[in-house]
Amino acid sequence: MENTAERKKIVFSGVQPSGQITIGNYLGALRNWVPLQKEYNCIFCVVDLHSITVRQVPAELRRRTRELLAMYLACGLDDENNIFFVQSHVPAHAELAWVLNCYTMFGELSRMTQFKDKSAAHSDNVNAGLFTYPVLMAADILLYQTDLVPVGQDQKQHLEITRDIASRFNGIYGDVFRMPEPYIPQVGQKIASLTEPEKKMSKSDTSGGSVSMFDDRDTIIRKIKRAVTDSGSEVRYAEGKHGINNLMTIYSCFTGRNFAEIEKEFEGLGYGAFKEAVGLAVADAVGKIQEKYNAYLADKDFLDGLMKQGAERAALLANRTLSKVYKKVGFYRP
C-alpha cells in the first residue's frame, strides 16, 4: 500500500457531451471543480459513452465532445495540473463496466430514480445501456481509486450504488477498490428550470427554461426576464417560492452575495428590477467565459493534443486497476 499521508487525494468527475451545457451545469459542477484542483489530483472526463444511452446525432456528439473540453478550460480548470480526457479513448472504462455488470444486481439497478425518469422520457428507447448506466459510472470512478466525486444532488444515488458495487467486490476479493465519497457543494448544487422551477434545469430543455453557456447576451437577459415567479412582489427567500428562490440562488452564485444581502439590495424594488439585475449578472459572467471558450475552441491542435495526452495518462492509471480486477476474477494471462 502507498503511504496514505503522502498520497494526494484523487478527484474524478465528468459531464456528458449531450445537449448544450447550461448555467446549471456550470454552477452545479464545473465551477465547483475549480477550487479542488489546487488541493487534489483531478481527473476530468468527457463521458461520451454515457451519452449514447440516449440517441445522439453523430456529427453533433463529435463536435460537442471537443466543445465540452474547451468549456472545461474556459471555466477555469487548469490544463497543466489536471488530467482531461474523453471516456471512449480509454477502453478500460468499457472493460471494467462489463466486469462490474456481473457484480451488480438487476434489482438494485431497477431502483435507480434516474433510470425510471429517463425511461419514462424516452419510452421508445429503453435500452440496456440506459439500465446499466450506473455501472459504467461506477467503473469511471473506481478505475482511478477515486477519493472524491463532485456531483450534483441528482447523482448521489449513483454514487451510493458505486459504493455498494465496490464493497461487494472488495468483500469477495479483498481491497481492490478505494471507497469514493460524494462531494456535494452547498450553494448552487441544484439550479432549477426558469419555466418550471420545480424541476432541474436541463441540457435538453429547449423551451426557454434553460440558459445555455453558449447563449448570447440578449437571449440570456430575455430568458431571465421571462422566468416564472410566484404572485408576490418582494424579493425574499422563502419555502415554496421556487421561482424566486432559484433566481436568488443564481444571482448569489454569480455575484457572491448572500441571500440577506440580496434581500436588502432589492428591498421595495419588486421582481422586475431584480430579474433585470440577475439577467445582467449572468450575461456578464457567461460572456467572459465565452471569450475564453472561443479562444480555446479555435486551437484544435491544442485541444486534440491535450485529450491525447490525457487519455495516455488516464489509461496508465486505469489499466493498473483493471489488471488487478482481471487477476482477481480469474482471467488467464499467458
List of residues contacting ligand TRP (CB under 6 A):
12-14, 16, 47, 50, 137, 140-141, 149, 151, 155, 158
Do the beta carbons of residue 262 and residue 35 sit within 8 Å?
no
* Minimal distance, residue 50 CB to ligand TRP, in Å: 5
Say how far apart CA 225 and CA 205 lie, in whole Å: 17
> Number of helices and strands (H, E) in the chain?
15, 5
* Minimal distance, residue 57 CB to ligand TRP, in Å: 19
99: left (phi over 0), alpha (psi -120 to 50) or beta: alpha
The residue among 13 and 210 lying less far from ligand TRP, judged by its C-beta, is: 13
Active site residue 190: no
* Minimal distance, residue 113 CB to ligand TRP, in Å: 13
* Minimal distance, residue 207 CB to ligand TRP, in Å: 21
In the set 9, 203, 292, 324, the catalytic residue is 203
Q: What are phi and psi of 189, to 5 degrees?
A: -70, -25
The residue among 43 and 227 lying less far from ligand TRP, judged by its C-beta, is: 43
The residue among 149 and 325 lying less far from ligand TRP, judged by its C-beta, is: 149
E strand or H helix at 86, and its extent? strand 83-86
Give the residue among 96, 82, 97, 87 at the shortest CA–CA distance from 17: 87
Question: Which of 195-207 are b and which e, b meaning 16 or more Cβ less than 10 Å from the residue's Cβ?
Answer: bbbeebbbbebee
Sign of CA dihedral 309, 311, 317, 319: negative
The residue among 182 and 217 lying less far from ligand TRP, judged by its C-beta, is: 182
* Minimal distance, residue 182 CB to ligand TRP, in Å: 9
In the set 8, 190, 199, 200, the catalytic residue is 200
Active site residue 116: no
CB-based burial label for 127 (10 Å; 0-12, 13-18, 19+): middle
In the set 118, 223, 241, 275, the catalytic residue is 118
Active site residue 203: yes
The residue among 10 and 141 lying less far from ligand TRP, judged by its C-beta, is: 141
Question: Known catalytic residues?
Answer: 118, 200, 203
